[in-house]
A = this chain, B = another copy of it.
Amino acid sequence: MNDIKKIAVLKGDYIGPEIMAAGLAVLKAATDSQQFKYELIDLPFGGDGIDRAGDPLPQSTIDQAKQADAILLSAIGGPKWDQAPRRPEQGLLEIRAALNLFANIRPTKITDRQVDRSPLKKAYVTGTDFVIVRELTSGAYFGKPRELQAHQAIDTMYYNESEVVRIMHEGFKMAQKRRHHVTIVDKSNVLATSKFWRNIAKEIAPQYPDVMVDYYYVDAMTMAIMSKPTAFDVIITPNLFGDILSDEAAQITGSIGQIPSMSVGSEGPNLYEPIHGSAPDIAGKGIANPISMVNTVAMMLSESFGEKAIAEKIYRAVDAVIDQGDVTPDMGGDLSTEAVTQKMIMHIQSDE
């Protein structure tokens, strides 16, 4: 008898719940006739946390998320909570810390059918396939003091040895399963935390003799992501630079509405989320692109549950709707979120 997987669902704000519904519908369809059994645990979080439980990250959400086998999160935040004492984003930072999700993994892969959607010329992007490994629980996002005073303000970038060591191993190990190439990004010609970062990378690199390593300053990296994206495999970066570079990387695909991400810790469940925001401007119109959340669900099935075959079936359904132009307006189609989702489910159900 199979055990039942617990999936925590943090449904998000604005378009968040719309695409979450799509993702869950696809999850159900793809697992219906399979051995894979799960239950969903709906937890208040972000703006929805403020509305339903008075806080973007209620303690009960932390407690229950920790008990889950995986966490599915949709885009959060938006103008409704701009004046909240604790904004939705605060909940996002704190759940990363509370669950010790120190590595954020963001794939940038440009399939042949995506090349036309890229703002970059075909010759530059064709064949792009890299992953950004972003440190997620330290650096400029968590250093203290962080103070907003009347006439000045301070943030602190901080890294200690174990924080840098573990993210390096995460990235190097990933490279061993991929194309054996790691790129270290920092600003070590200026910042002490970056010198520290690079020094540790240089100590760890020899432990992975099968991995080729190179080093970029973050400013030069923004150029390289655009001018030679095919030159990279695994990119390891501090928190703040990872935030910046992963958005740039998403943009070269021209398909930010399709990209999933995964955050992992040393123990406890992984957290899966689309990389885009909650798009308040199109919320409620029924036209949000469900593909990012559907890909996020597939990533969860594959990475947390080892259900690679089911994930592949979902990816085929995504490819099918894109090929047939059965997509939302942001991708040049004229279908609703609901209609695209139904098309994907049809493909899944007829997939042998």
Contacts and interface: CB of A to CB of B under 8 A. Distances in A.
Main secondary structure of the interface of A (DSSP, over half): helix
Interface in A150-184: 151-161
A194 B244 CA distance: 15
A329 interface: no
13 contacts: A93-B190, A119-B120, A119-B121, A120-B121, A140-B157, A140-B191, A141-B190, A148-B196, A155-B191, A155-B192, A156-B156, A187-B240, A218-B244
Contacts of A247: 219-220, 222-223
A333 B79 CA distance: 52
A163 to B, nearest CB: 9
A347 interface: no
Contacts of A129: none
Interface of A: 77, 87, 89, 93, 118-121, 124, 140-141, 143, 146-148, 151-161, 187, 189-197, 218-220, 222-223, 226-227, 240-241, 243-248, 250-252, 254, 256, 277
B141 A192 contact: no
Nearest to A118: B121
Nearest to A157: B155
A187 B247 CA distance: 13
A223 B155 CA distance: 25
A159 B243 CA distance: 21
Given A218-B244, A220-B247, A244-B244, A189 B153 contact: no
Given A140-B157, A152-B159, A154-B192, A223 B120 contact: no
A264 to B, nearest CB: 21
Contacts of A191: 140, 146, 155
A160 B154 CA distance: 9
B155 A160 contact: no
A288 B141 CA distance: 40
Contacts of A190: 89, 93, 140-141
Closest 6 CB pairs of A and B: A153-B196, A222-B248, A223-B251, A219-B247, A152-B160, A155-B157
